[in-house]
Amino acid sequence: MRTLPPSSSTDQQLVAQVLGGDTAAFGHIVQRTEGLVAQLVFKMIRHPADRPDIAQEVYLKVFKNLASFKFQAKLSTWVGQVAYNTCLHYLEKKQLVLLDPAEAALDDAVETGRRAPPPLVADPAYDPESTLFSHDLASVLGAAIEDLPPLYRTLISLYHQQELSYEEIAQITSLPDGTVKNYLFRARKLLRQRLLARYQRDDL
């Protein structure tokens, strides 16, 4: 089967080509998804030495299970799901967690004794991105994101860097849409609190 140019091949065509024995077509799948896989692996796995092996394991699983892909989502979303689950298995094997309950409560603890924490819903008037994701704060923000719990920094990466929708993130992580929104809200809030605690408010 002749391989179409990667820019013109649909998900269905690439999958059919790979299943037909065209290994070059699988290379196109890797090219289309390696950015997403890299973000997931880098955000979920702290140890740099383990990341290449995990990324390789992801694509071995994708190749092995490609025939089971039913096109109920985009191919890239399915590959992202394989990557997420592979990283999750690694964390479980190492007895690590994506989000410690104590870490999840840190943002609420800041307000303890002064006022009740805000509800865990997306408030349209609350827009930390306009401040925290500005170009001038890129390096500061990047370092602060890396200090967040793995799940929080993964969700921020998928939403803000990969520009995935809530639905796509939910498919990748197997979390309900509402949970994705709430965790993203918590992640932004915790990120802002930590930045404000570390730097002068006028600097932000």
Average pLDDT over residues 112-134: 44
For the chain, domains (ranges, CATH) are: 11-93 (1.10.1740.10), 101-203 (1.10.10.10)
Confidence check: pLDDT of 105 > 70: no
Structure confidence at residue 125 (pLDDT) = 47
For residue 149, give the 3-state DSSP assignment: coil
**Tokens found for residue 91:** 């964390």
| DSSP 8-state class, residue 31 | H
Top-confidence range, 36-45, 117-126, 189-198 = 36-45
* C-beta neighbour count of 171 within 10 angstroms: 21
**Cβ(145)–Cβ(137) below 8 Å:** no
Structure confidence at residue 115 (pLDDT) = 37
pTM of the predicted protein model: 0.77
Per DSSP, which regions of 4-122 are E strands?
A: none
Tell me how far apart the alpha carbons of residues 5 and 24 are, in angstroms, rounded to a whole number.
10
Structure confidence at residue 99 (pLDDT) = 80
| DSSP 8-state class, residue 117 | P
* Residues 6+ away with beta carbon under 8 Å from 67: 19
98, burial (CB in 10 Å: exposed 0-12, middle 13-18, buried 19+): middle
